Structure 1
Amino acid sequence: MAQLDTFHHTVKKALQKDGWRITDDPLYLQYGGIDYAVDFGAEPLIAAEKKQQKIAIEVKSFLAGSPTYEFHKVVGQFFDYRMMLSRIQPERILYVAVPSDIWRSFFQMPFIREVLEEVHMKIAVYNIDEEKIEKWID
């Protein structure tokens, strides 16, 4: 089983509070001889609210010593997971969940913003203390 990120359960509760039903914990993906486990697969509890959208969420804590190194890893994961999803579950939209303090600091740096735009990374900003999703960045 994949190693759980520090805030895995926090994000799970936050998604549920935001009206999502967790369908997979983790969401296993397999294609072309490669296996991945994205932290969550989710669908809206009330389909009319979120237009039958299905999402996959990869949770990140950014607690390691270097946020730059962590970001480098997550960009690679995001690219790989999104590419695999496009082949086997194209209806599912991939998001990376990041803590609100990291979003307000590290993720606002000009180069980081440029990378996010270049790779079209979608972000779910979560509040650790309140266990809630503060914003969805498309």
Structure 2
Amino acid sequence: MAKDVFHDMVRLALQQAGWTITHDPYPIRLLGLDLDIDLGAERVIAAEKTENDHVEKIAVEVKSFLSVSFMRDFHNAVGQYTNYRLLMDEQEQDRVLFLAVPKSVYDRRFHVPGVQLICERANIHLVIFNENTQTIEQWEK
């Protein structure tokens, strides 16, 4: 499958935020399905003692929302996110899935009450990236 137009930008923004990219793409080979989430990443959360270090693991599906119909893109993103999350939970329960959304789209569309309700009820975690500065601006769980 073709990479999203913002794929490389999100990859770089994650690296700049301290994440190590471990998968590009993150594969799901499970229950007869062969799927790929855009990115897998990890970072070490250091505790006071080295033996208590914790590795935080995420997978990130990047979406541009550039087509004429935001709702069509949103429906597709929610469905894809849900499928990936359900399968990823079977494969690697300690990895958290995020949907990467451009800040310009987030600011215009993701504050609509109906979109917020769907994201909340579908338990969609968002990572908002600024396509101008190529940085991560916000994480929403």
TM-score interval, normalised by the smaller of the two chains: over 0.9
| SS of the residue 1:103 aligns to | helix
- 1:54 alignment partner in structure 2: 57
TM-score (norm 2): 0.93
- List runs of 5+ in structure 2 lacking aligned partners: 48-52
Amino acid at match of 2:40: G
Residue 92 of structure 1 is aligned with which of 95, 107, 118? 95
Q: Which structure has the larger Rg?
A: 2
After the TM superposition, which segments of 4 or more aligned residues of structure 1 sit over 2 Å from their partners? none
- Determine if the alignment matches structure 1 residue 33 to structure 2 residue 29: no
| SS of the residue 1:108 aligns to | coil
TM-score (norm 1): 0.95
Name the count of aligned residue pairs: 136
- Determine if the alignment matches structure 1 residue 13 to structure 2 residue 12: yes
Residue 122 of structure 2 is aligned with which of 107, 119, 124? 119
Rounded to whole Å, the distance in 1 between the matches of 2:57 and 2:39 is 11
- List runs of 5+ in structure 1 lacking aligned partners: none
Rounded to whole Å, the distance in 1 between the matches of 2:70 and 2:9 is 20
Residue 113 of structure 2 is aligned with which of 110, 113, 127? 110
RMSD: 1.3
Rounded to whole Å, the distance in 2 between the matches of 1:85 and 1:39 is 13
> Percent identity among equivalent residues?
36
Moved more, 48-57 or 100-109: 48-57
Moved more, 46-55 or 68-77: 46-55
Rounded to whole Å, the distance in 2 between the matches of 1:63 and 1:26 is 21
